[in-house]
Amino acid sequence: MVEIVTLTPNPAIDLSTSVARMVPSRKLRCAAQQRDPGGGGINVARVVKRFGGDVEAIYPAGGFTGRLLRALLDREQIPSRVVEAVAETREDFSVTESETGQQFRFVLPGEALAEGEWRGLLEILGGTDPAPTIVVGSGSLPPGVPHDFYAQAAAVAKRIGAQFFLDTSGDQLIAALAHGVTLIKPNLREMQELAGRPLANDQDYVAAARQQIDAGKVEIVALSLGHLGALLVTKDKALRSPALPVAQVSTVGAGDSFLGAIAFSLAKGRPIEDAFRLALASGSASLTMHGTELCRPADVERLSAEVVIQPL
- State the first-to-last Cα distance of the chain, in angstroms, to the nearest integer: 37
All residues at 6 or more sequence positions from 122 whose CB lies less than 8 Å from its CB, including other chains: 149, 152, 153, 156
- Cα distance between residue 159 and residue 126, in whole Å: 8
The single-letter DSSP state of residue 34 is: E
Asked about 14 being catalytic, the answer comes back as no
All residues at 6 or more sequence positions from 200 whose CB lies less than 8 Å from its CB, including other chains: none
How far from the centroid of its chain's Cα atoms is residue 28's Cα?
31
* Residue from 14, 256, 274, 299 carrying the catalytic annotation: 256
Query: Which phi-psi region, left, alpha or beta, contains residue 202 (left: φ > 0; alpha: ψ -120 to 50)?
Result: alpha
**Which of 264, 275, 303 is CA-nearest to residue 44?**
264
Q: Which active-site residues does the annotation give?
A: 256
